Amino acid sequence: MTTEALLAYGHILAILMMAAFLASETALCRAEWINRAAVERLARVDLLSGISALAVLLTGLARTWWGIKGAGWYWSQPLLHAKVTLFVVIGAMSIVPTLRFLRWRRAVRADGSLPTAEQLRATRRIVMIEAHLVALIPLLAVFLARGVGTR
């Protein structure tokens, strides 16, 4: 029972961290707030977002392996596959902002040039879509935990 509780706690903590870093990226991607320090911060926050996403994945896998229900039960559930698929889609989407943040940081370091308002708006839109999709994963998790749509 203690193992299950600690696995759940680690997973929830990782999810909250990922959500916080996505929210930070969204907040920093504004033309009125962008400066040299904000570009550097965006790159750092994006790295932390990626690390927290990896923590979400690893703690989720740990729950399937060492959780009470066991890997056989979890991996036979369509909702788990839906959660993982959505997570992978979000991860793929996050590549675009990550590459932009790194490009912006290189430009700031090279010649001090900042991203344009349109570049910021387009990137912020992608991060916002990611954040909204992330909010669907716990919904699927609640359904899975309550036995909705399980086999």
Helix ranges restricted to H, the chain? 2-28, 36-66, 70-74, 78-93, 95-111, 117-134, 136-145
pLDDT digits (tens, 9 = 90+) for 12-70: 999 999 999 999 999 999 999 999 999 999 999 999 999 999 999 999 999 999 998 89
Taking residues 67-89, what's their average pLDDT? 95
Position 149 pLDDT exceeds 90: no
The residue type found at 88 is: V
Position 87 pLDDT exceeds 80: yes
Residue spans of the domains in the chain: they are: 2-145
CA within 13 Å, CB half, 94: 27
In this prediction the pTM is 0.92
Question: Is the CATH code 3.30.200 the one for domain 2-145?
Answer: no
Q: What is the pLDDT of residue 139?
A: 95
